[in-house]
Structure 1
């Protein structure tokens, strides 16, 4: 654990290292979660969506109540910093091998989990801040 806020703060920050192919179970956070990809290749999926690939420098936000999982690709280790508020996390079923092997995307708008900054943003350029509610689609 990097940080656990003292009351009244409920902020949490963890550095999490995933071995090749390791992943969380399906879960959701009552106030959402932000993942800052530090190294390796991250896989993040919201229930029913494509698997989003996250690379070092990417910041991915999952909205409150959004069922999702995250982990490392089968051929890459991965480290991310996870940020969330409160201990309101509901753990659900395990991610099946079939779900884990599903279609992947780097498409910003192809998933309800949303990268809020791309690794490709160069120094001196403003980072795009994008947060889309799960119910919203971008045409």
Structure 2
């Protein structure tokens, strides 16, 4: 079957389980990989929406903390991060936005803003230390 002949509107969407299994990032810490897997579990819809939303946000904040903790040099406003962590962060974004609708959008925005504040705070604290 030629992929050019597939009607995108009628194609079966990828399941969360397939998506998580397909996501293989080289050099990814097992703890981060477990968080990504957990996002797939949350998307299965086996719990109440409020509980799922709370766990979703907690998982994203935990990923944000992992990125913040990976910063080794706070001397630059945009610190360098391991590629595998950035790939996991962006993959989590894509998955959350695709699977959780408005709840996912709100959780993602909160986690992204949290990470931005944490990195800004780390940079500001480093600058205060040198003066």
One fold, TM greater than 0.5?
no
Q: TM-score by structure 2 length?
A: 0.23
Higher normalized helix content (fraction of residues) = 2
Q: TM-score by structure 1 length?
A: 0.22
